[in-house]
Each structure stands twice: as C-alpha cells, then as structure tokens.
Amino acid sequence: MTPEQRETALVDQFEDALEVQRRGLTYVLEINFSSTNPDKAAQIANAVADAYIQGQQDLKAELTLGASKWLDAQIETMRQRVRKSEQAVADFSAEHDIVDVTQGNQLVERRMEDISEQLAVAQAREAEVGARLKEVQAAAKGRNAAEALSEILKSETMTGLRDQYANAARLDAQYRAIYGSQHPVLVASREQLVELKRQIDQEVARVLQGLRTEERAAAEQATTLQAELNTLKKESEKARQASVPLAALTREAAADRALLEQYLGRLKETRQEQTLRFENARVISPALAPLKPSRPGKFILVMAAAIVGGICGTALALVLEQQRRGLVSASEVEQVLRLPYLGTLPDLRKARSPLNPLSWFGGSGRRAEDARAQAEYTRTVSAIARRLRRSAAKEGEIVVVTSALPGEGKSTFAANLARASAASGVKTLLVDGDGYSGQITRMFGVIGPGLQELTEGRRHVRNTAMSDVSSGLYVVGTGDMQGAQFHHLDERAVSAVLKDFQDYFDVIVVDSPAILPTGGRMIECADRIVMLAEWRRTDRSDVIDALDMMGPHESHVAGVVLSKAPFEGRPTSSADRHYDPDIYAAGAAPLCLPREA
C-alpha cells in the first residue's frame, strides 16, 4: 500500500469512527469518537472540538483581513471620485458665474416681484393720465368749455376765470339792452370778455401741456420698468437652466461623500474586530474517558436480528398477499365484488391435512379426516340451502348455479344443494343445464329423454323428470343433446319448460355452463343466481368480468360461494366446535361426488 493509500485509509477509518450531530433544536454540537481505547476516544473528541474552534477563529481572521484590504482599495477609489465630483461642481459654478444658485435665484425673484408691482402702478398711472387728457381735450372743444373744464379740472384758477367771464358776459348783455351795441361801455365790456377768454385758453393750454408731460413721464417709467423686468427674467431663466446640471453635479458629489463616509466607518469597525478576538463557539463540556463500552451487547444484537427478521418475514408475507389475485375470505368477497358471502366449501379431493400426519398414510386417520371434510361440506351446503329457502320470494323459484370458469365445482355444489333442499322436505327439481359437460346427468346416471326433448316439445314435463329414491330429488338430464346442439338451444323454450315445472316443484336448481366461455347461458331463466369461485385460484378480474356479462341479471345474484378450499381438519367457527360427523351424515342427504366422464 502506497503512503497516499495508507493516508486515505486512515482518513476513512477516522471518519467512520467520528460522529458529529446537533442536539435537538439547539445550537449545541455533540462530538463522539469510537475507539477501543477510552482515553484515546476522549482525547480525539476534545482535539476535534479544539480544531473546530481554532478553524472558526482563523477563518474569521482571514475574512476580516480580506475585508480590510478590500475596504482600503474602495476608499482610495471613492476619495478620487469625491475630488472629481467636487471639482466638477466648482468648475461649473465658475463658468456660469454662480455663487449660490439657490440664494441668487431667490434675490432675483424678489426683485422681479417689486418691479412687477411698480410696473403695474406706472401703467395704471399712464392710463389714468391719458384718460384725463382725452377728457380735457374733448371738453375744450365744446361750447361751454370754461364751465366743462372747471368741472373736469377742479381748478380754482379756472373756476375764478369762469366766474369772471360769466359776470362780464352778464354785464355785456345788460349794457347791450340799455345802451345799444354801439355804446362805449360795450366796447370796454367786450374787451374784458376777450381778455378773459384768452386767459381761459391759456389756462387750458397749460393744463393740457401738464397732462401730456405727465403721460409721457408715466409711459417712460413703464417702459423702463418693463425693460428691467425683462432683463431680470432672462437672468432668472439663465440661473434656472444652470441650476439643473449644477444640482445633478452637487447630488453626485454628495452621494460620493456619503458612500466614502460609510466605507470609512466600516473600515474602522473592521480594524476594531481585528484587535478583538470573539469566539463563535466554545466547549461546554469536554469529553471524558468512558467507563464502559457504548456499543450494545450480543443479546441485544441477537434480539435486534430476530426483530428485523420477523419484520422482513411479515413484510414478505404482506407483499405476497398483495400479489394474490384470488378470493379467500368473506370480507374480500363483500369488499371486492360488493355481493353477499354464502359460505366456503372444502376441497373433497384434497381432504388430507398437513396438520394430521396420519392422513398421509391411509388407514383410520385418513378416513376420519375425509369424513370430517365431507361433513363440513354437507353442513355448509345445508346452511346455504336453508338461507336461500328463507329468502325465497315465491314458490317454484329457479336457482341457477354458475361460475366464471369451468372446473370450479359448480355441478357438484348444484347437485348437493338440490339434495339438501329435498332432504329438508322441499319438493326440489335439479336440471342439468350444462350441455357441454353433462356432469349432473352422469352423476345421477340419468338415461332417456331430458332437456333437449322438452324444449323440442317431444316430451311433457310430467313424465320426464327422474326421481332419486335415496333423497326424494327429481332430476332432468340433458337428454340426447350434444355440445354443438346445446350451443343452439333456444333459451326462450328453456324458460317456458322451467315455468311449466314451477307448477310441480317448490325449488328448481339449474346447473348452468361457466359464464366466460359460453357467454352466460341459462342466466336469463334465473330468479336467483349463486356464483361459485374457486378459493384462491379464480382471479378476481375473471369473476368481475363474469358479473359484467350478466348485464341486468347481475341484480339476481344471491351471493358467492368459495369452493375447493383446503380443509385443515378443524372447525372454522365457534358454531362448528361441537359438531359430530355421524350426526350430520345421519340427518342429511348422502353427499354427491363427481363422476368421471
């Protein structure tokens, strides 16, 4: 073995002996090491715990050192980014003559508000002066200019001139009326009126000139304010346009500074962790040398092997039972077929029991075993006959005995069912309806006309049935019918014949052919049907298929009988523990056994 292979073998051996597990839902690890030397086992367990703790500390220190180096590199990169972003902010501010975007924009906005208010006042003043000017000009052109102007201008000078002019005009009118138009007094009066009119015109011209001057001043002020307002708007728009990229640059610089501060804080924490050594795990209880071996003793191992063997055997038996397709119990009949269970018949051909060794050597032991099997068969058939009789719906009931496949013991059961019914005092007719096998005809040795002649009308029901003297049973054979002829037998004619027999018999038992090979002949004639299935041998699916082939007549099935079950030489229920074969044999009809063709 090479050194590498030896090392690998030692590592594998060490791993097999080492066991590390979590205790319950806690964060406690339990380390166990198995060794033939108790001191060595304790030392290795403690060494594994120490190695684990040291490995955790080394790993944490390595991770912390790597994080510190990475943070140093990131911080240097972020410092360069911060310098670039702050320099970009400064360059942009200098390029656009921006000292403080926010503060400068606020000053411009306030100045614009003040100028807007002044502009509104100037424009209102200009409009007001223009309106007064137009009004004065219109009044000056009228006939009563002096009076109208005095009312408009509200001037004391104009009012005085108007009063003087009015007095002079009144005197002129009086003088004209008294002295005539050529009197020297009128000349002086007219000169006075002319002078007053000239003064009034001068006053109006002065007022108009003042209003025009005031209007021009108001217009110039409004124009100046509007120009200043437009200039401020341009400055505000320029500042607003410059604030967008400047704000983006400022935010980028602030984000870089914040990220740099985070890296600096994390670097400080990492360096503090390097100086402090915290243990994520610690030894709660060191391993001590065990005082006795931990592995179980030989007795426990033997018991465990026995238990495991029993479990495996039980599991194998369950698997084999699941693979079985036949029917073996009443519960299976009722659960799988959903039909009543009538009974289980022992296999009379294999009456020898593995529990009774004497039955394998003939003699009295075997004869006693055969007698018990036959007595069990007779008892079961008699119980089924009584059950069917008690549940009969009418006199002359036709009971058809059938099975899914041939060779399941239906003919033997039909013969013994009819004999048990006749032995109980019920007038019973047994009809061999299985023209393929003719088992009933051979069993009772029926010779002469039978079902073939009855269906063809060549014989009457009153002189066709043969009486079995030993049991009081009447039997109708197949007649001269062969298998091919039976295949073409008219079932309606058979039903008519059986109805004629109902006038003479209380129970009519018909042995019909197996359903799957023949399609279920004689089923349509039945008032009730008894289905036979060979114990364990007949597949469940075959029985289900046979029931499906019955169609609507499946509802006439009275129950299922399991045939050819192994007889173990002991009663199967509490009611059978006290039976005597001689008593059953004396009180029942002789048992019918099949004859070879």
DSSP 398-429: EEEEEESSTTSSHHHHHHHHHHHHHHTT--EE
- Reply yes or no on whether the pLDDT at 450 is more than 50: yes
According to the model, what pLDDT value does residue 232 have?
76
According to the model, what pLDDT value does residue 597 have?
40
Element (H, E) at 320: helix 298-323
187 φ, ψ (degrees, to nearest 5) = -65, -45
Strand pairing of 466-468 and 473-476? antiparallel
According to the model, what pLDDT value does residue 296 have?
61
What is the rounded distance in angstroms from the CA atom of residue 411 to the CA atom of residue 433?
A: 10
Got the DSSP string for 19-85? EEEE-TTSS-EEEEE--SSHHHHHHHHHHHHHHHHHHHHHHHHHHHHHHHHHHHHHHHHHHHHHHHH
According to the model, what pLDDT value does residue 20 have?
86
- Reply yes or no on whether the pLDDT at 152 is more than 60: no
**pLDDT tens sequence across 10-23:** 888 888 888 888 88
Q: Which two structure tokens, joined as six digits, stand for 289? A: 């040398």
**pLDDT tens sequence across 356-387:** 333 333 445 566 777 888 899 999 999 999 99
* Helix, coil or strand: residue 165: helix
CB atoms within 10 A of CB 61: 13
What is the rounded distance in angstroms from the CA atom of residue 429 to the CA atom of residue 571?
A: 31
CB atoms within 10 A of CB 360: 12
According to the model, what pLDDT value does residue 38 have?
85
Identify whether the C-beta of residue 485 lies closer than 8 Å to the C-beta of residue 435: yes
Identify whether the C-beta of residue 373 lies closer than 8 Å to the C-beta of residue 353: no
What is the rounded distance in angstroms from the CA atom of residue 296 to the CA atom of residue 154?
A: 134
CB atoms within 10 A of CB 147: 16
Number of residues in the chain:
597
What is the rounded distance in angstroms from the CA atom of residue 66 to the CA atom of residue 409?
A: 90
Q: Which two structure tokens, joined as six digits, stand for 109? A: 């906005």
According to the model, what pLDDT value does residue 265 have?
85
Q: Is the dihedral of CA 238, 240, 241, 246 positive or negative?
A: positive
532 φ, ψ (degrees, to nearest 5) = -100, 145
Residue 596: which pLDDT band, with cuts at 50, 70 and 90?
very low
| Residues β-bridged to residue 402 | 531
- Reply yes or no on whether the pLDDT at 64 is more than 80: no
Torsion of CA 437, 442, 447, 452, to 10 degrees: -20
What is the rounded distance in angstroms from the CA atom of residue 268 to the CA atom of residue 271?
A: 5
- Reply yes or no on whether the pLDDT at 351 is more than 60: no
Identify whether the C-beta of residue 492 lies closer than 8 Å to the C-beta of residue 522: no
| Burial profile 510-530: b = 16 or more Cβ within 10 angstroms, e = fewer | bbbbbbbebebbbbbbbbbbb
Q: Would you state the CATH architecture of domain 17-168+198-292?
A: Orthogonal Bundle (1.10)
Read off the amino acid at residue 592. Answer: C
What are the start-end ranges of the E strands in 281-374?
341-346
According to the model, what pLDDT value does residue 457 have?
84
Identify whether the C-beta of residue 39 lies closer than 8 Å to the C-beta of residue 288: no
**pLDDT tens sequence across 314-339:** 767 665 555 557 999 999 999 999 99
Domain boundaries of the chain, sorted by first residue? 17-168+198-292, 326-566
pTM for this structure?
0.46
- Reply yes or no on whether the pLDDT at 103 is more than 60: no
Where do we find the tokens 């500042």? 239
Identify whether the C-beta of residue 528 lies closer than 8 Å to the C-beta of residue 559: no
Any idea what DSSP says for residue 575? G
What would the mean pLDDT of 125-147 be, rounded to a whole number? 70
Identify whether the C-beta of residue 433 lies closer than 8 Å to the C-beta of residue 512: yes
According to the model, what pLDDT value does residue 574 have?
38
Spatial CA neighbour of 579 closest among 353, 364, 374, 346: 374
Highest mean pLDDT among 10-14, 99-103, 428-432: 428-432
Residue 355: which pLDDT band, with cuts at 50, 70 and 90?
very low
According to the model, what pLDDT value does residue 352 have?
44
Q: Would you state the CATH architecture of domain 326-566?
A: 3-Layer(aba) Sandwich (3.40)
Residue that wins the pLDDT comparison between 388 and 300:
388
What's the Cα-to-Cα distance from 14 to each of 8, 19, 38, 480, rounded to whole Å?
10, 10, 15, 90
What is the rounded distance in angstroms from the CA atom of residue 353 to the CA atom of residue 401?
A: 29
Identify whether the C-beta of residue 336 lies closer than 8 Å to the C-beta of residue 545: no
What is the rounded distance in angstroms from the CA atom of residue 542 to the CA atom of residue 185?
A: 164
What would the mean pLDDT of 440-469 be, rounded to a whole number? 84
What is the rounded distance in angstroms from the CA atom of residue 433 to the CA atom of residue 587?
A: 29
- Average pLDDT, rounded, for the chain: 79
Residue 401: which pLDDT band, with cuts at 50, 70 and 90?
very high
What is the rounded distance in angstroms from the CA atom of residue 122 to the CA atom of residue 118?
A: 6
Got the DSSP string for 197-225? HHHHHHHHHHHHHHHHHHHHHHHHHHHHH
Where do we find the tokens 């036949």? 326
Radius of gyration of the chain (CA): 67
What is the rounded distance in angstroms from the CA atom of residue 287 to the CA atom of residue 45?
A: 6
Residue that wins the pLDDT comparison between 534 and 283:
534
- Reply yes or no on whether the pLDDT at 578 is more than 50: no
What is the rounded distance in angstroms from the CA atom of residue 532 to the CA atom of residue 341?
A: 10
According to the model, what pLDDT value does residue 277 have?
60
Read off the amino acid at residue 385. Answer: A
Q: Which two structure tokens, joined as six digits, stand for 538? A: 């007949």
